[in-house]
Structure 1
Amino acid sequence: MPHTIAVVTGANKGIGLAIVRNLALQYPASRFNKGPLLIYLTARNSQRGEEAVQALQKDTQLKKAAALQNEGGLTSITYQPLDITQTKSIQELRDFLKKEHPGGIDIVVNNAGVALDGFDAEVVKKTLECNYYGTLEACQDFLPLIKPEGRLVNVASMAGTLDKYSSALKDAFQNAATIPEVTKLMQDFKDAVAGGEHIEKGWPGSAYMVSKAGMIGVTRALAQEEKERGGKRLINVVCPGYVDTDMSKHRGYKTPDDGAGTPVLLALGDIGGVSGEFWHEGEVVGW
């Protein structure tokens, strides 16, 4: 039976797939290694998810390291469906994990997200549904399953920093200490775009940027809730950098493995008990 259980969302390609690979590579030397590791690679599309698992079985890095169980290593990887824009899908994975692992899971990396072209009310709606509301719902459903010493990692972006906002909105984000307060900011943005007022109200003209600011803010709020409950789960948010993926239209200068570095550090590494922070290039950075 596996000792350690990890879940990675949006993991059939790009950074998500690289996170799965690097979890398998780095797990043996990590503090979590007390026996076999099972990674659930999740994706919306079952064919792509299964193909990703098959690709990892043939992966040269994993073979060279003998990381997978069929090569004598510790890690096994299996696909599970998850569409974070669908409540039913999130709940089905939650219930599956509760049934299969009644003792809890150890690591959740929320990588799933979208970057849509264009900017209008519909793009804002679809982007926030996935990147903000979907990720938040996944956090709220999966966090209770994570063991007391486990980790939750949300993958955001430096696009979520607050340098493109009015002073009033910067203050509002920085002072939003609860989930409802952050969610209200997301609704305010939707309303401003729908009313054609986002520029005069101090918002940037990018649904992606605002969704990632929301993710940073809500991760801070989730960590604060955990602290107030007396919990010890570490909850952090990370920018993987500008990575060469489909989402960046392959304009990024970092490889997916490079991009996976800090997310995997937050999942497995010694980070000194830090929680509720925004990370980039292995360090806590300002928002």
Structure 2
Amino acid sequence: MAVQSRVAAVTGANKGIGLAIVRQLALQYPKSPLKSGPFLIYLTARSEERGAEAVKTLESDPQLKDAKVLVQDGGNTTIKFYALDISQTKSIQDFSAFLKKEHPDGLDMVINNAGIMFDGIAMQGFDANVVKVTLHTNYYGTLEATRDLLPLLREGGRMVNVSSMAGKLNKYSDEIRNAFIQAAKTDVPAVTALMEKFKAAVAEGKEKQAGFPSAAYAVSKAGETAFTKAIAMEEAKRNRGVLVNACCPGYVKTDMTKGGGAKTP
């Protein structure tokens, strides 16, 4: 196996923001202070067909070709596809085991972008099943991927969880808003307890009375932002120089928003 100087993994990267992240990593690496040799990016997605097609799209991208950043064009960067479904524990474990075996010296960066918005509908559209499915992927799946992949980062590595501006806390009661803020400062179980409280309230049709908005995607992203803060504090205590952050894109023109976003990836 050829040694790769830098290694990155991007989840949910066959289209939209995830694909744009892979593209920008490839474009910016040659001028990055991180550049120290070959750069391998794992583009992951649930569908092998769509993932492979995404890699082909990048390999034929005019800007990437003009910049000569990919190995096929004389550059340092290689993009490989790996099938990953963060809603499935075994899929996450298989990916983690693969990375650990292939890259025993560790990874440099992981970007957890994978997520769903049920049927691409508006943020407020939801019912009990939508809540269950959305939280299973966006909260629990991202949390599990974070827990499994974080130990694989080498010293000085970076993990970024792509959350959302939809996760802002301005639509919650003061009590729940303060609970989110405190949970993020406490630990992950405290954040998870809020997710379970939301699910229980929805099951009873009383989420608004409990102080939550009727919005599965928004609550899942509020939870993702909060648990990321909690894990960042945990990681800081290990003194490895690893940073864990959440970024919160706005309304972006992607398939998830049915092309309605004001910004492009």
- Shorter-chain TM-score tier: over 0.9
The amino acid that maps onto 2:237 is E
1:174 maps onto 2:181 in alignment: yes
Question: CA deviation digits over 1:238-275, x for unaligned, max 9?
Answer: 1122211000111011111xxxxxxxxxxxxxxxxxxx
Which residue in the other structure is 2:67 paired with?
A: 65
Q: Identify unmatched segments of 5+ residues in structure 2.
A: none
1:111 maps onto 2:113 in alignment: yes
CA contact (8 A) 2:236 2:243 kept: no
CA contact (8 A) 2:232 2:244 kept: yes
Cα distance in 1 for residues equivalent to 2:35 and 2:83: 26
Cα distance in 1 for residues equivalent to 2:263 and 2:203: 35
* Residue correspondence of structure 1 range 76-225 to structure 2 within 5 A: 76-116=78-118, 117=121, 118-176=125-183, 177-225=186-234
The amino acid that maps onto 1:77 is I
| Identity value in percent | 58
Q: Identify unmatched segments of 5+ residues in structure 1.
A: 257-287
Q: Please give the secondary structure, in 2, of the residue aligned with 1:76.
A: strand
Work out which of the residue numbers 232, 238, 261 in structure 1 matches 2:247.
238
The amino acid that maps onto 1:154 is N
The amino acid that maps onto 1:243 is V
Cα distance in 2 for residues equivalent to 1:228 and 1:173: 22
Instruction: Give the RMSD, CA atoms, in angstroms.
Output: 0.8
CA contact (8 A) 2:6 2:37 kept: yes
Cα distance in 2 for residues equivalent to 1:200 and 1:217: 22
Question: CA deviation digits over 1:35-89, x for unaligned, max 9?
Answer: 1100000000000000100111100110111110111111000000100000000
The amino acid that maps onto 1:153 is V
Question: CA deviation digits over 1:156-187, x for unaligned, max 9?
Answer: 11110100000000110000120000000000
Provide TM-score, normalisation by structure 1: 0.88
Q: Please give the secondary structure, in 2, of the residue aligned with 1:50.
A: helix
Question: CA deviation digits over 1:187-212, x for unaligned, max 9?
Answer: 00000000111011110010000000
Q: Please give the secondary structure, in 2, of the residue aligned with 1:27.
A: helix
Cα distance in 1 for residues equivalent to 2:240 and 2:214: 38
- The number of residue pairs the alignment matches comes to 256
